[in-house]
Amino acid sequence: MERKKKAAFSPETDGAEVPLKQEKKAKPPVRGSDSAEFVPPDGGWGWVVCATSLLANGTAFSIINTFGIIYTFMVESPEYGANDPTISFKTSWVGSVNTGLTFLMCVFSSIASDRIGIRPVAVFGAVMGTVGLVSSAFVPKLELLYLTYGVLLGIGAACIYSPSLVILGHYFKKHMGLVNGIVAFGSSMYTIILSILLPKLVTSLHVKYSFLVLGGLYFIIIFCVLTWKPIYRRQTDLPTIALSTESIVEHVTDCCSVTKQFFDVQVFRNRGYLFWFISLGVALFGYFIPFVHLVKHSKDNFPDSDGFILITCMQITSGVGRLVCGKVADLKCMNRVYMQQTAFLVLGVVTACIPFSAYFEGLIAICLIMGICDGIFVCLLGPIAFDLVGPNQASQAIGFLLGIFSIPFTVGPPVAGILYDTMGTYKIAFILAGMPPIIGSIIMCFIPRTRQAYPGATETHHFASMSMVDVYNSVIIQGNFDWDEYLQETDAVAAPESCFKQATTPPDNDFEINQKIEARDPRNLTSICVATVIGKIGPRLRLRLDGSDSKNDFWRLVDSSDLHPIGYCEKIGELLMPPLGFCKNPSSWPSFLQKTLNGAAVAPDHCFKKEPPLPKSNEFKVGMKLEAVDRKNPQLICPATVGSINKDQIHVTFDGWRGAFDYWTRYDSRDIFPVGWCAKSGHSLQPPGQKAGPIQVKGKVKEPSLSVPIPSPGSQSGTPRSSVTSNPSSPNLHPETPISPKEAESPVVQVTEPDTSSTSTSTPTSSNKACVYINKSCRTGSLLDSKKVSDMPDQIGPSTVNKVLRELTQTCIRCGVQDTKVYHLIPKGEGRVVISVNQGGRVLTKKLPAISGVSELWSFIEKLTSELHCCENFLTSNPLHGHCPKCNRRSSSSSPQSVRSSNPAEWSIDDVIQHICDTDPALATHAEVFKKHEIDGGAFLLLSSEMMMKYMGLKLGPVLKLCNIVEKLKGRK
């Protein structure tokens, strides 16, 4: 079942099963879940974690950054072949393999941290690094250092780097920028210290014994990473692995799906990212050469000077550059791509100038400039990724970059080394090393101008600390969606931006969580109340009226006219009113208001944006594509189509989903957006579903269902009005009652939360009793076996809601053509009702969503019948007598086959599918193929075996059965 459909049932998105009688241990709260939102402590033990992360990160990267110092001693050491004419080339490979593997393995270590655990991966990395350095002290040949110093230490550094950043997201949120700055500066600080101490160490102890000292530093990291205790985990309900064929297949499939999520090449369809990816891959061929060879070049040309200080100078300005550049990049007038492009251009020029420096002081000046360029490059990696591809694909964008970095970092220094071995000078090597950054900066000219979508001050480290868990659990699972490809596949056009009441450039969201504002009550538009910002996605805010509860949260754009700063009502001479359903005594409102606003964080005036102008007229046309808010799940925005138009109203139909989500709205609604709005604003876009058949555009509103009778205006059933009129296909209207767009677009349906102000006067017994009638003559779809359906009871109940819910779902599972398939279609929740199914000798169980009343039960049933492809009147609150207006069948005791036309050529697509399922239930799995190709009765009689195999993709066995059915129908005709 698709994720959007699951969200409509319950906040749970994981539909995995657990074996019967297996007790599930209490799990830590999962960030993003509705039931228990994770809040980092922002202090306490987190500061210890910050200190140990600084130590681990600084130690790992200071050893990588100072390899140029060790390189100088190695090429002059007789033990490593100082007389070898290719010694520079061979020695360069030691550091290059180490650096390349570090960046390449960062991608895999990030995935391993999420799937295995932060501490196990970090401990493994520290042990690998220690083993690699210690063993480097005992290898007799230079080539063996490729394995010990290059491979083992490179893997160890990668397994330390990613966890050292991910763990910070467990303990910090408010101070995330500060702690990431501290950890980021740690690598520069440790490099500075090590560049001063390492030459003295190598001079005193020799290169081999220096490896032992560095191995001791790595050994200390083991104790540091033991402090990295995760305080929440990614929730998973995977069952315990059993040694059976089914479990092995299940877990291999899960592994493959995870791999596809992290290695999705769809990101390369973004033109800006593609050029950025190529430019960085080219520019970095010369980037790491000075880190390895500059000290040796200084010693050759300025033997009386201390060349080791050059690395120190480079790291000082690199650290300063990261801190300053992050703040400058946050300015709205700055273009981050241009900043990085300039840094590469300058870096290339100064690198090419290295051999022309006649004085050692000139080399110092060049190193200071190179350090600033290095800081700008590192600082802007994460922010530019968010600017170019948005938060949905940023994780994969950075992952591919880290992978491509490993190639130039590995190849560049050895090429410079072989040039030195051949010519005896670094002049040509440094000139050529300056060319790739200049070429890379030229390629960056082809990157389209982008709008800032992520703060630069947090650097790429903030991205790394949140992407491996947050992006995996929230963004990546939504998948990727390409509008250009989708419009081409569907042969559709996007609605022009002039049709929408939206700003051309999405406004910036400057609000902060927990800030107070004044907002119009969506359930009482004449009242303005105090509201609190409790969430935000892109330019949208999730608001909660003070004195209300979480059931009445609603979403607004930052440029909505319903939002005002504190003091607005006083300024215009109005009073702040309590919200509908105020949780306290109304007489206590003044004191409650005073207490609420006393010392509260108030949103400043600059956060509120001017509302965009109204479109001149309704310029929408049927079939145009747009992006629209799903009003049943208002945190989601999905691709949609204009289904029909009626004066100022348009019918929004969601692509790939059945009518339960569609709704009528005015053409100037703030809930609809032009194609590409989510990508521009940084809001996630939900991909289209797969449940519905081909999108059909109709001239009138869909005929409503009969499932639940609508209560009268004076009814006190306690049913929220928004749940009754949320969409024109809601099962709440009489079949003969015409519905207009005006009726479908009532002000109260702009928010789907229930009205908590209404008080139920029904007795507990009547409000909790339910009865479901099973109209077995209606179309049962391809997932239910019609013969088994005929044995179902005529009704379930009257009984309690939970009892009816359990009996109904278990009955549907038993009547399924494949009972496990029906079981998987039913969503998982946290209610009290538990259902089960037998699969391969083991019993699977799961809880259903919590259903608290009859109205929620019928909402669940409506979605269930939609998922099962049944007639909307298959399950109703009253028995169906006579003709069913939905599937054109009559209630009778005869078989469903008897209500179809006697002439097969007159059958509809559903009639053909039903006949196939009735004749041979094993063919029900191919029903979607007939729906996709629109095979009605006339087309079915014309089918041949060649057509079914060549054009419909069916295998020989089903084709032979279908041909037999066709021949029998022709004979009957």
Report yes or no: 812 and 784 within 8 Å, Cβ to Cβ: yes
The H helix count followed by the E strand count for the chain is: 34, 16
First-to-last alpha carbon distance for the chain, in angstroms, is 39
Q: What is the pLDDT of residue 560?
A: 93
The answer on pLDDT for 710 being more than 70 is: no
Residues 768, 762: Cα–Cα separation, whole Å: 10
Position 763 scores a pLDDT of 37
pLDDT of 332 > 50? The answer is yes
Average pLDDT of the segment spanning 227-256? 50
Q: Would the pLDDT of 285 be above 80?
A: yes
C-alpha span between 945 and 961 (Å, rounded): 10
The pLDDT of residue 670 is: 94
Strand pairing class (649-654; 637-646) = antiparallel
pLDDT surpasses 80 at 300:
yes
Q: Predicted confidence band at 906 (pLDDT cuts at 50, 70, 90)?
A: confident
Higher pLDDT, 949 or 156: 156
pLDDT more than 90, % of the chain: 13
What is each CA distance from 382 to 79, 327, 441, 590, in whole angstroms?
43, 14, 18, 47
Q: Which of 262-266, 300-304, 498-502 has the lowest mean pLDDT?
A: 262-266
Where does the pLDDT of residue 233 fall: very low under 50, low under 70, confident under 90, or very high at 90 and above?
low
Over residues 954-971, the pLDDT tens digits come to: 888 888 888 888 888 877
Provide long-range contacts, Cβ within 8 A and 24+ apart, for 832-841: 832/802, 833/802, 833/805, 833/806, 833/809, 834/806, 835/806, 835/809, 835/810, 836/20, 836/810, 837/813, 839/246, 840/244, 840/246, 841/244
What is the share, in percent, of the chain residues with pLDDT greater than 70? Answer: 75
Express each pLDDT in 945-956 by its tens digit. 878 877 787 888
Amino acid of residue 71: Y
Per-residue model confidence (pLDDT) at position 608: 93
Bridge partners for 800 per DSSP: 769
pTM above 0.85, yes or no: no
pLDDT of amino acid 715: 34
pLDDT over 70 at 255, yes or no? no
pLDDT-derived band at 396 (thresholds 50, 70, 90) equals: low
d(CA 762, CA 682): 46
Position 181 scores a pLDDT of 65
Determine the Cα–Cα distance for residues 601 and 618; give it in Å rounded to an integer.
41
User: 921-941: b or e for each residue (b if 16 or more CB lie within 10 Å)?
Assistant: bebbebbeebbeeebbbebbb
Determine the pLDDT at residue 124: 92
Output 158 or 19, whichever has higher pLDDT. Answer: 158
pLDDT over threshold 80, residue 631:
yes
Residues 6+ apart with CB under 8 A from 255: none
Residue 456 reports pLDDT greater than 80? no
Could you identify the residue written with the tokens 């290695």?
Answer: 263
Q: Is the pLDDT of residue 269 over 90?
A: no
Beta-carbon-side half-sphere exposure of residue 160 (alpha carbons within 13 Å): 35
Q: Which of 119-128, 443-452, 793-802, 962-971 has the lowest mean pLDDT?
A: 443-452
How does pLDDT run across 201-210, given as a tens digit for each residue?
Answer: 888 888 888 8
d(Cα 351, Cα 289) in Å, to the nearest integer?
Answer: 9
Q: What is the mean pLDDT of residues 748-772?
A: 44
More confident residue, 740 or 417: 417
The sheet carrying 563-564 orders its strands as 554-557, 540-545, 524-537, 516-521, 563-564
Of 361-370, 598-607, 727-736, 915-924, the poorest mean pLDDT is in 727-736
By the 8 A CB rule, do 105 and 158 touch?
Answer: yes
- Residue 752 has a pLDDT of 34
Whether the per-residue pLDDT at 818 is higher than 50: the answer is yes
- Alpha-carbon distance 332 to 122, whole Å? 38
Q: Is residue 539 pLDDT above 60, yes or no? A: yes
* Average pLDDT estimate for 84-88: 75
Greater confidence, 755 or 255?
A: 255
User: What is the separation of C-alpha 477 from the centre of its chain, rounded to a whole number of angstroms?
Assistant: 5
Strand order in the sheet with 769-774: 795-800, 769-774, 875-876
d(CA 180, CA 188): 13
Average pLDDT, the chain: 75
DSSP per-residue string spanning 49-112: HHHHHHHHHHHHHHHHHTHHHHHHHHHT-GGG-TT-TTHHHHHHHHHHHHHHHHHHHHHHHHHH
So what's the pLDDT on residue 16?
A: 37
